[in-house]
Amino acid sequence: MSDPSGKSSTETHLPDAQSKPTSGWWIGLGIVLCVLVVATAGFASFAENSRKIVRPANLSVDGIVVLTGGPERIPAAVRLLEQKTAKRLLISGVYPATTARQLSQITQAESSLFKCCVDLDKRAPDTRGNAAEAANWATRHKFRKIAVVTSDYHILRAIVEFSRAMPDVELVAYPIASSDAKTPALSFAMLRLWINEYVKYLLARIL
- Is 162 contained in some domain? yes
Predicted TM-score (pTM) of the model is 0.83
- Is 10 contained in some domain? no
- Is 90 contained in some domain? yes
- Is 12 contained in some domain? no
Q: What CATH number does the domain containing 170 carry?
A: 3.40.50.620
CA 35 vs. chain centroid, Å, equals 21
Residue-number span of the structural domain to which 99 is assigned: 52-206
Number of domains observed in the structure of the chain: 1
- Is 132 contained in some domain? yes
- Is 24 contained in some domain? no
pLDDT digits (tens, 9 = 90+) for 38-60: 888 889 899 999 989 999 999 99
- Is 15 contained in some domain? no
pLDDT digits (tens, 9 = 90+) for 71-110: 999 999 999 999 999 999 999 999 999 999 999 999 999 9
- Is 1 contained in some domain? no
- CA 69 to CA 84: how far, in whole Å? 24
- CA 49 to CA 62: how far, in whole Å? 26
* Cβ contact 127:204 at 8 Å: yes
